[in-house]
Amino acid sequence: MSTKLFTDGGARGNPGPAAYGFVLEAEDGSVLAAEGHAIGETTNNVAEYSGLIAGLARAAELGLSDVEVVSDSELMVKQMRGEYRVKNETLQSLHAEAGRLASRVGHVAYRHVRRAHNELADKLVNEALDRA
């Protein structure tokens, strides 16, 4: 079994004030790391990738080698799996950065879930937006 990385990002307005959140959860359900940060004015998709990048960076820092990314962003999950092309220039650079970080971690799998199954990361996004 692997460590789970729950990621989320959102913008109020699209583009608008944006934030990301991530939660790294060990196999036993304990939280290894959790963060939510406002990132200024940007789009939902940039915020989603920002959460993924921050979470993968933390996973690499912690020396994790097997991570399952859980996200409610179908677009990001399918792009990271290689099922969708990344056409947007901004997302291309974020996708490449996420790929570099994933290779530092080792084995990374991506799973799309409904927002209801990503509650803590979603909560961190909204708390960061409320503080901004």
Q: What is the pLDDT of residue 132?
A: 86
Give residues with Cβ within 8 angstroms of 100, minimum separation 6: none
CATH code given to domain 3-131 = 3.30.420.10
Q: What is the pLDDT of residue 33?
A: 97
List of the chain residues with pLDDT < 70: 1
Query: CB of 71 within 8 A of CB of 113?
Result: yes
* Buried/exposed code over 52-69 (b: 16+ C-beta within 10 A; e: otherwise): bbbbbbbbbeeebeebbb
Q: What is the pLDDT of residue 36?
A: 97
